């Protein structure tokens, strides 16, 4: 009882007693008032008032993208602002250091979620690719992340193998043997999200969304995550890898999911999408100057209920207040570059009364771990930025896989007289791309191997430069890094007209355009010219096989990898080829060519002539 009410009650008892006893005024009837005995226990103190529910809850999101199985430090640096002006190179990356960096960020706020914006696996270095990326899944398991929005490279080996990456097991879905190290591969202990990847039955391949609930002093907030890849995925992976799947528009997909997420109590909406852009500014420059790319049309269509867009795919890093670009779309847009060199530290504040995000900010954090030497350049650790120690669990896991891979990685396959690079010339050729095309032609030109006359290599399949050691030697690990996809060679019969049509598709097929052409790398046997100013369908000319003009009606035997053979990179005319004959693995063909021609002088460019 409230103290004041208690006093009033006692006073009432006293008054009533006196009135009852004094009605006649006779002393004989007087009954003296005796106060009640004191209570043996004092009255309990009033309970303390309940603590006020906080008006806001802060949530930390930790994001990365395009890890691509880079478990070892990738020998890359981030040019970051130096304290005295200018920039300082900061050595970055390595899964063991990345795990420690994630743990360090988590310690700053227990209300956190860790997210990957795709291409966690695929196009990976040998220590991951040789083991079907099982090593990467296990390493990320140890990082205790929440969700990975699948990217295009997750589909490199097909949806059945991708499902194994999530669910575990040792089913053999590829040419490589699964479970060579861990006989009980567990699969991912984090969620895969694929909101716009739809199967024939109308269901998504993986869940479309995830939700996390956070509490603070009695207050509860919910953050919803929509995860997806770019709708153009079928154009940039092996068609067999996405057979039976359709990839829906990114913004339409997200917008359709928002009402049900709000109905489930979501206070904040985060889109995690494997699509991105580029900027013209440096590390952690928040101005986002020069923002461009395929992420912009998505942002401009997204519902303004979205608070944060975590992106990837372009391997660029940025933190953008997109509201400065489009005031109608005030999203926070982020990307963490590539290969685990950066983590994006995103902080949002949610009002517990309005159930809205009232503040949001982000920084890209450099995963500085260890110094490295690349060629003649050494990049040392710097005290101008935090350095992270090794997570011993992840380091031990990587060491186990490296030990088994080491004999293969270090094996010398031959020698080069100079570095073969991926750098494109004015004609869009590259020395290394031409070298690979020559190797593939050599592997398939014998009669029993397909009697090939021409070979083509897709530029996106050339993943690293090939730099010999001081003595000119090249190792298997290096050539595997150049071609990590495990494609096989295919020889098909095509007419001159069909070959010309394929070459026309370099400039006019899907995402291959005059503004952004995808030029195939030809073997030395083929020469031709192109003119970007010519009308579509008439850009290719002067096609010659070993110096002899090619005829539209003549048939030729053409080599391509299995990715191109089924229409990859929008080169659908390759599907018209006939009399297909399968061949060796692409990396085996490159090894055999270097070995047979050592010391090999990298080829010249100039197979393609650009006309006005």
Tens-place pLDDT, residues 71-116: 999 999 999 999 999 999 999 999 999 999 999 999 999 999 999 9
Encode pLDDT of 318-376 as tens digits: 999 999 999 999 999 999 999 999 999 999 999 999 999 999 999 999 999 999 998 78
- Given a cut of 50, whether residue 539 has pLDDT beyond it is yes
Burial class (CB in 10 A: 0-12, 13-18, 19+), 219: middle
Report the pLDDT averaged over residues 530-553. Answer: 97
Q: What's the pLDDT at 359?
A: 98
Beta carbons of 249 and 231 less than 8 angstroms apart: yes
Which residue in 62, 80, 7 sits closest to 379, CA to CA?
A: 80
- Given a cut of 60, whether residue 26 has pLDDT beyond it is no
- Given a cut of 60, whether residue 7 has pLDDT beyond it is no
- Given a cut of 80, whether residue 463 has pLDDT beyond it is yes
Per-position DSSP letters for 508-535, written without gaps between them: EETTEESSS--PPEEPTTEEEEEETTSP
Residue 52's pLDDT band, with cuts at 50, 70 and 90, is confident
Burial class (CB in 10 A: 0-12, 13-18, 19+), 224: buried
| CA–CA gap between residue 469 and residue 134 (Å, rounded) | 30
Share of residues in the chain with pLDDT > 90 (%): 85
Q: What is the 3-state secondary structure (H, E, C) of 107-161?
A: HCCCCEEEEECCCCCCCCCHHHHCCCCHHHHHHHHHHCCCEEECCHHHHCCCHHH
Q: How many CA atoms lie within 13 A of 489 on its CB side?
A: 31
Partnered with residue 228 across adjacent β-strands are 273
Encode pLDDT of 559-592 as tens digits: 999 999 989 999 999 999 999 998 888 999 999 9
In sign, the C-alpha dihedral spanning 367, 372, 375, 379 is: positive
Q: Quote the crossing angle between the two packed helices 95-107 and 392-409, to the nearest 10°.
A: 170
Beta carbons of 427 and 531 less than 8 angstroms apart: no
| CA–CA gap between residue 228 and residue 206 (Å, rounded) | 10
Report the pLDDT averaged over residues 3-14. Answer: 38
Rounded alpha-carbon distances, angstroms, from residue 510 to 289, 313, 540, 567, 571: 28, 18, 18, 11, 9
Q: What's the pLDDT at 486?
A: 81
Report the pLDDT averaged over residues 393-409. Answer: 94
- The CA R_g of the chain, rounded to the nearest whole Å, is 33
Residue 485's pLDDT band, with cuts at 50, 70 and 90, is confident
The pLDDT mean for the chain works out to 92
Residue 41's pLDDT band, with cuts at 50, 70 and 90, is low
Q: What's the pLDDT at 175?
A: 80
Report the pLDDT averaged over residues 404-429. Answer: 95
Encode pLDDT of 230-246 as tens digits: 999 988 887 888 999 99
Burial class (CB in 10 A: 0-12, 13-18, 19+), 558: buried
Encode pLDDT of 253-303 as tens digits: 999 999 999 999 999 999 999 999 999 999 999 999 999 999 999 999 999
Beta carbons of 583 and 489 less than 8 angstroms apart: yes
- Given a cut of 50, whether residue 25 has pLDDT beyond it is no
In sign, the C-alpha dihedral spanning 391, 394, 400, 404 is: negative
Q: What's the pLDDT at 237?
A: 85
């Amino acid at each position: 009882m409230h103290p004041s009410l208690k006093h009033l009650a006692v006073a009432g008892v006293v008054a009533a007693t006196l009135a009852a006893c004094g009605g006649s005024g006779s002393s004989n009837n007087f009954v003296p008032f005796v106060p009640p005995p004191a209570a043996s226990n004092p009255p309990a103190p009033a309970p303390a008032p309940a603590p006020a529910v906080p008006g806001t809850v802060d949530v930390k999101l930790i994001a990365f993208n395009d890890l691509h199985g880079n478990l070892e430090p990738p020998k890359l640096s981030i040019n970051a602002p130096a304290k005295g002006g200018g920039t300082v190179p900061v050595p970055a990356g390595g899964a063991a250091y990345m795990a420690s960096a994630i743990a360090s960020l988590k310690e700053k706020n227990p209300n956190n979620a860790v997210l990957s914006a795709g291409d966690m696996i695929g196009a990976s270095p040998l220590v991951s690719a040789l083991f079907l990326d099982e090593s990467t899944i296990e390493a990320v398991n140890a990082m205790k992340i929440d969700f990975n929005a699948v990217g295009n490279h997750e589909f490199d080996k097909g949806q059945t193998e991708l499902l194994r990456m999530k669910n575990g097991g040792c089913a053999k879905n590829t040419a490589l043997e699964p479970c060579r190290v861990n006989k009980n591969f567990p699969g991912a202990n984090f969620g895969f999200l694929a909101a716009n990847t739809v199967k024939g039955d109308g269901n998504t391949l993986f869940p479309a969304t995830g939700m996390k609930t956070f509490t603070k002093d009695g207050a509860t907030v919910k953050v919803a995550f929509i995860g997806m890849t770019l709708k153009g995925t079928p154009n940039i992976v092996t068609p067999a890898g996405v057979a039976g799947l359709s990839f829906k528009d990114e913004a339409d997909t997200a917008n359709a999911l928002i009402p049900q997420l709000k109905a489930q109590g979501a206070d904040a909406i985060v889109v995690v999408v494997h699509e991105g852009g580029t900027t013209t500014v440096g590390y952690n420059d928040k101005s986002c100057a020069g923002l461009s790319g395929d992420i912009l049309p998505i942002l401009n269509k997204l519902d303004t209920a979205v608070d944060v867009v975590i992106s990837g795919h372009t391997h660029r890093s940025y933190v953008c207040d997109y509201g400065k670009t489009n005031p109608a779309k005030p999203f926070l847009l982020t990307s963490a570059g590539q290969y685990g060199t950066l983590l994006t530290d995103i902080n949002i504040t949610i009002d517990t009364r309005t159930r809205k995000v009232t503040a949001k900010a982000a920084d890209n954090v450099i995963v500085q771990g260890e110094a490295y030497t690349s060629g003649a350049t050494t990049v040392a650790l710097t005290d101008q930025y935090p350095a992270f120690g090794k997570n011993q669990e992840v380091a031990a896991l990587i060491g186990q896989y490296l030990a088994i891979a080491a004999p293969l990685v270090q094996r010398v396959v031959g020698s080069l007289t100079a570095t073969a690079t991926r750098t494109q010339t004015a004609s869009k050729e590259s020395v290394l791309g031409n070298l690979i095309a020559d190797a593939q032609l050599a592997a398939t030109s014998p009669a029993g191997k397909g009697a090939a006359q021409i070979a083509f290599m897709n530029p996106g399949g050339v993943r690293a430069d090939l730099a010999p050691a001081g003595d000119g030697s090249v190792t298997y690990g290096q050539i595997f890094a150049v071609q990590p996809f495990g494609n096989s060679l295919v020889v098909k019969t095509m007419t001159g007209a069909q070959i010309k049509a394929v070459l026309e598709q370099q400039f006019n097929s899907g995402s291959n355009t005059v503004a952004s052409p995808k030029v195939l790398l030809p073997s030395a046997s083929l020469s031709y010219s192109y003119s970007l100013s010519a009308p579509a369908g008439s850009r290719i000319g002067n096609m010659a096989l070993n110096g002899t003009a090619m005829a539209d009606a003549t048939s030729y035997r053409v080599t391509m990898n299995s990715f191109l053979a089924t229409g990859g990179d929008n080169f659908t005319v390759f599907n018209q080829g006939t009399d297909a004959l399968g061949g060796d693995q692409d990396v085996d063909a490159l090894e055999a060519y270097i070995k047979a021609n050592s010391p090999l002088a990298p080829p010249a460019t100039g197979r393609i002539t650009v006309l006005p």
